[in-house]
């Protein structure tokens, strides 16, 4: 496959094909997990899988394997990109702290609050991504223990139900916030096609991820 240009038609590449494929399949498997999980708790919701509890459970398990295995496969298949993303998530500087302090006032009055320059991921994106990773890991571990419940003390299995449900509630909240910021919030929604096309408008990159954008520009001039 031909390498995608970093700059193209006033846009800049944010996500290569591998990241977009991972994001799409991950989102799909998350939605299937959510639906089949809720249908198990409230059978009235199970119109799509009907009364067949085993079918619902099997679909839930298949989606769970996809949800957990896919990021791990990507980690092995694309170590450079995955390593760069994780390194970015683990980085934190004064501007990130300042960004977090100004986040709520900026959400209320985006025109009058100036946010400090950000790297490839904004401070809020880093916090949200770590919370997503931690919740997904807890959901996966508790899910595996619930799946293999016969070999595990009943009290531990009961706790795993609590961990599984609480982590999912937090993940749903993060998901709603994530979709709102990516697709609807006027000050950030200009990049909403980036997980489909890979690109964001340069103007958006200059404002939202200034340090990252300036770094790419400098590299391009070499
Ligand atoms: C319909 C559902 C979703 C939509 C529309 C959506 C949209 C997007 C968009 C537009 C971006 C790029 C933001 C940027 O330019 O930095 C993004 C990034 C990302 N998405 Fe999603 N997303 C969805 C679901 C999910 C789910 C279910 C997860 C994880 C469980 C997820 C995890 C991430 C992560 C970790 C990033 C990179 C960091 C960040 O931007 O927060 N997304 N998403």
Digits of tens for pLDDT over the chain (222 positions)?
A: 678 999 999 999 999 999 999 999 999 999 999 998 888 887 776 666 666 667 788 999 999 999 999 999 999 999 999 999 999 999 999 999 999 999 999 999 998 999 999 999 999 999 999 999 999 999 999 999 998 888 889 999 999 999 999 999 999 999 999 999 999 999 999 999 999 999 999 999 999 999 999 999 998 776
Residue 134, pLDDT score? 97
Query: Measured from the CB, is residue 30 less than 6 Å from ligand 1?
Result: yes
Handedness of CA 138, 144, 145, 147 (dihedral sign): positive
Query: What predicted TM-score, i.e. pTM, was given to this entire model?
Result: 0.91
Reading the block at residue 61, the tokens are: 């398990």
Query: Measured from the CB, is residue 189 less than 6 Å from ligand 1?
Result: no
- Provide the 10 A C-beta neighbour count for residue 192: 16
The answer to whether residues 163 and 138 touch, using CB atoms and an 8 Å cutoff, is yes
User: For residue 79, is it left (φ>0), alpha (ψ between -120 and 50) or beta?
Assistant: alpha
The four Cα atoms 73, 80, 89, 32 give a dihedral, to 10 degrees, of -20
End-to-end CA distance of the chain: 25
> How far is the C-alpha of 141 from the C-alpha of 147, rounded, in Å?
10
User: For residue 52, is it left (φ>0), alpha (ψ between -120 and 50) or beta?
Assistant: beta
Q: Which residues contact 39 (CB under 8 A, 6 or more apart)?
A: 45, 46, 48, 49, 56
User: Measured in angstroms, how far is the CA atom of residue 23 from the centroid of ligand 1?
Assistant: 7
Residue 43, pLDDT score? 72
Q: Look at ligand 1, atom 13, and give the residue with the nearest C-alpha.
A: 182
Reading the block at residue 54, the tokens are: 């085993």
Q: What angle do CA 78, 83, 84 make, to 5 degrees?
A: 105
């Amino acid at each position: 496959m031909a390498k995608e240009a970093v700059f193209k038609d006033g846009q800049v590449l944010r996500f290569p094909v591998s990241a977009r494929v991972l994001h799409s399949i991950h989102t799909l498997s998350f939605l299937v997990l959510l639906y089949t999980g809720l249908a198990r708790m409230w059978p009235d919701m199970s119109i799509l899988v009907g009364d067949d509890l085993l079918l619902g459970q099997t679909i839930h398990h298949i989606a769970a394997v996809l949800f957990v295995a896919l990021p791990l496969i990507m980690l092995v298949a694309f170590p450079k990109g995955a390593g760069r993303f994780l390194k970015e998530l683990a980085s934190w500087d004064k501007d990130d702290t300042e960004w977090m302090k100004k986040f709520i006032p900026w959400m209320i009055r985006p025109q009058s609050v100036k946010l400090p320059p950000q790297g490839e991921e904004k401070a809020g994106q880093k916090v949200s991504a770590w919370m997503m990773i931690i919740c997904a890991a807890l959901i996966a571990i508790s899910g595996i223990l619930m799946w293999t419940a016969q070999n595990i003390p009943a009290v531990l299995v009961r706790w795993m139900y609590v961990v599984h449900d609480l982590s999912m509630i937090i993940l749903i909240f993060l998901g709603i916030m994530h979709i709102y910021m990516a697709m609807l919030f006027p000050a950030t929604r200009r990049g909403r096609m980036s997980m489909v096309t890979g690109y964001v408008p340069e103007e958006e990159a200059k404002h939202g991820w200034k340090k990252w954008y300036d770094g790419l520009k400098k590299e391009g001039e070499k």
